[in-house]
Each structure stands twice: as structure tokens, then as C-alpha cells.
Amino acid sequence: MIITQNGEAKVILQDIKLYEQTQESLALLKILAMSNKNLKAGKIKPTIQAFKDIRKRIEECNK
């Protein structure tokens, strides 16, 4: 629902579930945009190397 004042939109009233879905969608879009930016900048590594790095970090944390 859009609430207007003097014919101009001023406020949007939104169901909480729809609001939460919108926030989740925005978060996913931000992640995609960051991924695309990193891809274009060449800041990528093979999946195998990424998982090796993750395992190494986990091992270091468990020491």
C-alpha cells in the first residue's frame, strides 16, 4: 500500500513476510554483484584451491 501526501508518494506499507523476502532478494543481488565485480577484476581461484584453503583454515582454528 502506498500512502500519499498532496498527491506525492510518501510511505509504503508492506507485509512483514514480503519485506523479509525483499531483504533476502536484495542480499542475494549484492552477493551476485560482488561476485561479478571480483570475476571482472580477476580475483578468482579454482574451486579445488578454494576448498583446500578452507580446510587449512579449519585445521588452524582447531589447533
In the predicted structure, residue 50 carries a pLDDT above the cut 90: yes
Contact between 3 and 11 under an 8 Å Cβ cutoff? The reply is yes
Share of residues in the chain with pLDDT > 70 (%)? 100
* Backbone dihedral region for residue 12 (phi beyond 0: left; psi -120 to 50: alpha; all else: beta): beta
User: How many folded domains does the chain comprise?
Assistant: 1
In the predicted structure, residue 63 carries a pLDDT above the cut 90: no
Supply the pTM of this predicted model.
0.60
Structural domain for 34, as ranges: 2-61
Spell out the residues 6+ positions from residue 2 whose beta carbon is closer than 8 angstroms to its own: 9, 11, 12, 13
Torsion, Cα of 19, 20, 22, 24 (10° steps): 170
pLDDT score recorded for residue 11: 94
* Arithmetic mean of pLDDT over the chain: 94
In the predicted structure, residue 53 carries a pLDDT above the cut 90: yes
